[in-house]
């Protein structure tokens, strides 16, 4: 067990809970927070889904790890554990923490990553939390509406840093004949706006044949989206990728025309590499991007403006250079060193 962060005579012991079975942005953020808090010296216990890749990622980090598939699992097995606080990272974990709270009076905080309203059937669980954390202003507004008497804090996600293999970058670029590479990286769900990207590609296909759109991701909408783009020569579906550092390095621009978005962790990841981003004014995205300063924003669903803006950005080198210069300063409050310390402050105030 690693060293523990002490406050007076007390040792701060945090239980992180993420019961999602997949490994998307939320799970990556949970992992980065765990790693940073271990570097800070906190004592951590983790409860994760045995089917999630997160389990393999956290094993060997130096903290106690338990598995639970359902929110009603494991409670009596952990009854002897004395957590100072439970930190919840997904919907199922909210119910898990609430049961722990009922059984053992353990306080908990919730980090909410989605910008849709809290369901009424979950009001009791949310209102029992000591602190509610939203990644963006719009999420915090949803939390305040559901829990008007609760303490609500805004702490954004932090960008994950990926390794880059230069040979892989060259291979990616050569496979598209070194065209101007525009990527969109997301799960292929309705709200991610791939249909807007396809319409933008259609608009510029003939006028700008040097531009190649590559969609990175998979999901229930993929077949329908491939059908929509079937007659376009400038769109390629590359599937879900694990070497995102290589793709960010190979690309000239990323687009993210979401209809809704809690914050947009992939936007942070792209900006962290210096890759310019054009996104929509959806959800928490304006918390990250100041249009014309560190990126560009267009209205939701506006494929024509998206097409016009991406052509302009790709064609003006000094504009891209200015954006890259501004990105570093704009990410200061999103760095994991900053966000982890803010969570420690919350832990200390609750426990």
Q: Determine contact, residues 274/327, Cβ cutoff 8 Å.
A: yes
Same structural domain, 148 and 223: no
Closest CA to 196 of 121, 58, 345, 307: 307
What is the number of H-type helices and E-type strands within the chain?
Answer: 14, 15
Same structural domain, 340 and 325: no
pLDDT 10s digit of each residue in the chain, 351 long? 333 444 433 578 999 999 999 888 889 899 999 999 999 999 999 999 999 999 999 998 989 999 999 999 999 888 767 789 999 999 999 999 999 999 999 999 999 999 999 999 999 999 999 999 999 999 999 999 999 999 999 999 999 889 999 999 999 999 999 999 999 999 999 999 999 999 999 999 999 999 999 999 999 999 999 999 999 999 999 999 989 999 999 999 999 999 999 999 999 999 999 999 999 999 999 999 999 999 999 999 999 999 999 999 998 777 778 888 899 889 999 999 999 999 999 999 997
Count of domains for the chain = 2
pLDDT value for 2: 36
Same structural domain, 182 and 323: yes
HSE at residue 265, side-chain half, CA atoms within 13 A, is: 22
Question: Exposed, middle or buried: residue 286 (CB in 10 Å: 0-12, 13-18, 19+)?
Answer: middle
**Cβ atoms within 10 Å of 163's Cβ, excluding its own:** 9
Same structural domain, 262 and 275: yes
Same structural domain, 221 and 250: yes
Cα-Cα end-to-end distance for the chain? 21
CATH number, domain with residue 241: 3.40.50.2000
pLDDT value for 3: 39
Same structural domain, 77 and 202: no
Same structural domain, 43 and 84: yes
**What are the strands, taking DSSP E only, across the chain?**
6-7, 10-11, 13-18, 43-48, 64-67, 85-88, 108-112, 131-134, 152-154, 180-185, 211-216, 235-237, 253-256, 277-280, 296-298
53: its two tokens = 């890749």
DSSP state of 159: P
Same structural domain, 248 and 345: no
Same structural domain, 345 and 286: no
Q: Determine contact, residues 161/195, Cβ cutoff 8 Å.
A: no
Same structural domain, 149 and 33: yes
User: Which 3 state secondary structure label does DSSP give 334?
Assistant: helix
Residue 199 sits in which domain range? 166-333
Same structural domain, 58 and 79: yes
pLDDT value for 9: 34
Same structural domain, 144 and 202: no
Closest CA to 97 of 119, 73, 117: 73
Does 104 reside within a domain?
yes
Closest CA to 30 of 149, 151, 150, 111: 111
Q: Which residues contact 139 (CB under 8 A, 6 or more apart)?
A: 112, 113, 114, 115, 154, 262, 263, 283, 284
Does 1 reside within a domain?
no
């Amino acid at each position: 067990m690693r060293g523990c962060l002490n406050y007076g005579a007390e040792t701060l012991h945090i239980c992180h809970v993420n019961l999602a079975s997949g490994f998307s942005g939320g799970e990556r953020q949970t992992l980065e927070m765990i790693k940073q808090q271990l570097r800070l010296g906190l004592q951590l216990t983790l409860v994760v889904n045995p089917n999630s890749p997160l389990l393999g990622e956290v094993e060997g980090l130096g903290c106690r790890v338990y598995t639970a598939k359902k929110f009603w699992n494991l409670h009596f097995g952990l009854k002897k554990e004395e957590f100072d606080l439970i930190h919840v990272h997904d919907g199922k974990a909210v119910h898990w923490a609430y049961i722990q709270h009922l059984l053992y009076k353990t306080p908990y905080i919730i980090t909410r990553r989605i910008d849709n309203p809290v369901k009424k059937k979950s009001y009791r669980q949310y209102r029992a939390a000591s602190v509610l954390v939203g990644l963006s202003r719009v999420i915090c507004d949803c939390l305040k509406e559901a829990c008007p008497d609760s303490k609500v804090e805004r702490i954004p996600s932090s960008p994950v840093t990926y390794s880059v293999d230069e040979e892989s970058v060259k291979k990616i670029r050569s496979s598209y004949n070194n065209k101007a590479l525009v990527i969109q990286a997301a799960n292929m769900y309705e709200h991610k706006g791939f249909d807007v990207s396809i319409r933008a590609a259609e608009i510029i296909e003939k006028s700008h044949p040097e531009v190649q759109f590559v969609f990175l991701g998979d999901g229930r909408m993929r077949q329908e989206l491939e059908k929509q783009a079937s007659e376009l020569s400038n769109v390629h579906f590359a599937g879900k990728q694990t070497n995102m550092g290589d793709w960010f390095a190979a690309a000239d621009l990323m687009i993210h025309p979401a209809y809704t978005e809690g914050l947009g962790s992939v936007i942070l990841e792209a900006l962290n590499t210096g890759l310019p981003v054009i996104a929509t004014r959806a959800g928490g995205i304006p918390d990250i991007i100041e249009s014309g300063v560190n990126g560009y924003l267009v209205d939701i669903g506006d494929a024509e403006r998206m097409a016009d803006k991406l052509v302009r950005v790709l064609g003006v080198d000094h504009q891209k250079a200015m954006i890259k210069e501004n990105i570093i300063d704009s990410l200061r409050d999103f760095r994991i060193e900053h966000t982890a310390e803010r969570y420690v402050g919350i832990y200390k105030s609750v426990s």
